[in-house]
A and B are shown apart, each in its own frame.
Chain A
Amino acid sequence: MIITDRPSMAMIWIALAGYLGLYPAMLVVPLILMQPSSKSFGMITTFALSIVGLLGISRWLVGSWDFIAATYGVILFLSDLTPNTGMFWYFFIEIFDQFRSFFMVVFQFHAFIFVAPLCIKLRHQPLFVITVLCGIMSVFKSYPAVGDAALFLGLLPLHDELFEYFRYGFLITNIYLYSSVLAPIFWHLWLYAGSGNANFFYAITLVYNLGSVLLLIDMIFSVLRRDYDIENPNAIGKHVVQK
């Protein structure tokens, strides 16, 4: 309701989310798509002014621009390698120094590039695009946490019409349950008991992210299949292939 009735408030809140975490800023595009195109310019200016205002307040509080390197610089360049539920930390612990900058660019680029294709292909369903982008953020952010997955899974029931088209529902549910139980156990085994090593915890984060990835793929497939079924009612119940 906020999005349809008060677009400027939506822009201010998304500017705050992007200011705090950098990645939520890519949700601006689907939010703009939710409104008629006459309002888009106004929304963009609201967003830009909010960002500038927030950065200006930070600059005034800190006294210089040093905070940008300490906040956004850490998010982008991964200065700290504390393990989390994401895929970056072990990759950048193990990688050799000469490849570090290349893979950093590739990973960060990968997190942001899905905005354009999703918005183009699914421009009539911007709420779905927001859900998928939240899912992409929970997997491919530089420092994700289970809270990001909670946001994504919380937005998922908005699209319950897609549930009948899921192909891997049982597998995904099991993967989530399995990795939720094992992740704290392997963390404890690595750091406190000393009987496991880093590979245990890394493998579980890999499995967890695989589950999220499968869920995202399934969601996109379901929405496209459902659109195809709506356009071609004779295709309901039949097998399709992509060409």
Chain B
Amino acid sequence: MYTSFIILSIVLFVNNNLSVWAKEQFNEDLTLRSLSDGKLLAHFNFTTHVDVINPVPGASLHHYGLFPKVIGQVLQEYQVREMHLTFTQGRWKYDEWGYPPEQSTGTGVELWAWMENSTRVDNQWKSLTNTLSGLFCASLNFIDETITTEPTLSFQSSSSSSFEKNNNILLRYGSLPHESVCTENLTPWIKLLPCKAKSGIAELLNAHKIYNSNFHSMSIHAKSICANDDCTRRIMELKQTETSVLDPVRETSRRDWSLKEVFDRVLHGACPVADNSRVHIIQDDSNAKLSPELNNPLKGYDLKEVHDELDIRMTWSENSFHYPLEPAYPIISANRYFTGYGQERGGLEITIHNRNDKALPVIYYDSIPWYLKLYLHTLQVIVIDEKTGQQQLKEKGDIIRDMYYQPAIDRSRPTMLECQLLLPAKSIVTLSLDFDKVFLKYTEHRPDANRGFDIGSAVLTAQLPNENHTIRVYTDTLLVSLPTPDFSMPYNVITLTCTVIALFFGSVFNLLTRSFQIIKEEKEVK
């Protein structure tokens, strides 16, 4: 008995010293805000934070508690330092709702990752997209080299270790604007949470209600970064957010909302493993009445103190809602669209509004697929003063300070255009480019060929005055119709073309190889 006790204590002692020591923390948060046009913005935020102390730098984490093992293994296997995956459906109206709580609002799926610099980066990126595709039941495996780009100025890493940021990590970005989001994507996302959908704030995630909204966006941000320069302390963080813009006015023509009406569920308490579990209400309008009453509006409702049911309700004493006439224009907003007509060529224009009093530097990033051949020499910049509407005469070099351009290679890589722009104060800047449309092969068209092809959002990265973090503004996705052949014709085309060729070949062959003979005329027999 003593020997077994001694052996057990030795084993535990050895285990403790060899393994990494991790401290885990899970916070969940819900922010509800009534927007100026009567819609309700619901922002769910689930953060798992793990502090790993490695006696051996670079050792892998073996024990996963609250941090999901799948994500940890993905980060480890493919040498990913930072990964951001967002599923979005709908349009975020910057002009009416301001800036979103989560930056990525481009329709479809967006994936970008900072990965360790090695010769196998592209293979690891491909494996990463395939693994995430299986994990989230989405067709992310379509993010291949014809869609992937490497932005140089945008999408900066938030790693605190300067050594890693400068030398060791490479960025890969890909987006699928045509990808649709459905409950098959939400279910594995919920499975990554420690409490799943059984308790805590995640109880409210009712797919029928969340997806019945004007805008919804679900994202995963995973990080595994070194906290100090020799990497003996590592921080792993998983942040899952879900943003929905729901419309109570559509159902009842009143903007009153309650958790039961909006989500068809109520809160029953906090997730037992959560350190913090709060519901924040941002009240812009003092006319609204909130029940149950909040003692401290900044701290919101603490779900750890809720034991049976919590149904939050906000009501107004008006009969019906009147839409506001003045939109709340944000400081930077952008609008991108196609110009031109016909299916041979066209133009791409982006209009950026700067409503700030001072000039603002902005980074414009755009990735155009290879089947639109952009002509960079046709890039034009037009600046219009916001107040007077007059065109200002500015040199192209005054606005475009720096440009990174990667031309497309057919069927191999997209065009990437990244510009550092200096937007003048209170101005509207328009960049325009011309392009030719490519005639695709029969099999390269989609099954619904006449719908056209989706072009992913352009991203504007800016540092707003009075804010300490950069914001990203996403433009709408665009739809371009490329010229289509007649899809019922392969056999006919082959036959007709080969007929003409055979006619020529046969006739010339006959003429060259045979010799003439006079036809003998028959004499009439009298």
Contacts and interface: CB of A to CB of B under 8 A. Distances in A.
Contacts of B489: 94, 199
B285 interface: no
Most chain-B CB neighbours within 10 Å: which of A94, A210, A240?
A94
A23 to B, nearest CB: 16
Interface in B419-433: none
B23 interface: no
B501 A87 contact: yes
A150 interface: no
B501 A97 contact: no
A217 B511 contact: yes
A82 interface: yes
A128 interface: no
A243 interface: yes
A202 B490 contact: no
Contacts of A194: 343
Contact of B516 (A216, A217, A228): A228
A194 B513 CA distance: 48
Interface string A201-243: 0100010011001001100110011001000101100111111
B131 to A, nearest CB: 28
B393 interface: no
A240 B443 CA distance: 50
Contact of B439 (A87, A89, A114, A121): A89
Contacts of B344: 191-192
Given A197-B486, A199-B489, A220-B512, A92 B501 contact: no
B503 A91 contact: no
Contacts of B493: 90-91, 94-95, 202
B483 A190 contact: yes
Contacts of B483: 190-191, 198
A220 B508 contact: yes
B16 interface: no
Interface string B445-476: 00000000000000000000000000000000
Contacts of B519: 238-241
A117 B507 CA distance: 13
A139 B504 CA distance: 10
B504 A81 contact: no
B439 A93 contact: yes
B500 A210 contact: yes
B512 A198 contact: no
Contacts, number: 124
A195 interface: no
Interface size class of A (residues with CB under 8 A): 35 or more
B517 A242 contact: yes
Nearest to A82: B439
A225 B500 CA distance: 24
A91 B489 CA distance: 10
Interface string B251-266: 0000000000000000
B485 A93 contact: yes
Contacts of B505: 110
B119 interface: no
B410 interface: yes
Contacts of A238: 518-519, 521
Contacts of A224: 511, 516
Given A198-B486, A238-B518, A192 B341 contact: yes
Contact of A95 (B440, B442, B501, B521): B442
B379 to A, nearest CB: 23
Nearest to A225: B516
Given A91-B494, A197-B486, A198-B485, A110 B512 contact: no
B441 interface: yes
Contacts of B441: 81, 92-93, 97
Contacts of A191: 342-344, 483
Contacts of B307: none
Contacts of B439: 80-83, 89, 93
Contacts of A89: 439
Interface string B396-432: 0000000000000010000000000000000000000
Given A95-B494, A191-B342, A241 B516 contact: yes
A80 B500 contact: no
A243 B497 contact: no
B295 interface: no
B516 A206 contact: no
Given A79-B410, A242-B514, A216 B497 contact: no
Interface in B21-36: none
Interface string B4-43: 0000000000000000000000000000000000000000
B518 A240 contact: yes
Interface of A: 79-83, 87, 89-97, 110, 114, 117-118, 121, 139-140, 190-192, 194, 197-199, 202, 206, 209-210, 213, 216-217, 220-221, 224-225, 228, 232, 234-235, 238-243
Given A198-B486, A217-B504, 5 more contacts: A81-B441, A91-B497, A232-B518, A240-B517, A242-B515
27 contacts: A81-B441, A82-B439, A87-B500, A91-B497, A93-B442, A93-B485, A94-B442, A96-B443, A110-B501, A110-B505, A117-B509, A121-B512, A192-B341, A192-B342, A198-B484, A199-B489, A206-B496, A206-B497, A216-B504, A220-B512, A225-B516, A235-B516, A240-B516, A240-B517, A240-B518, A242-B510, A242-B514
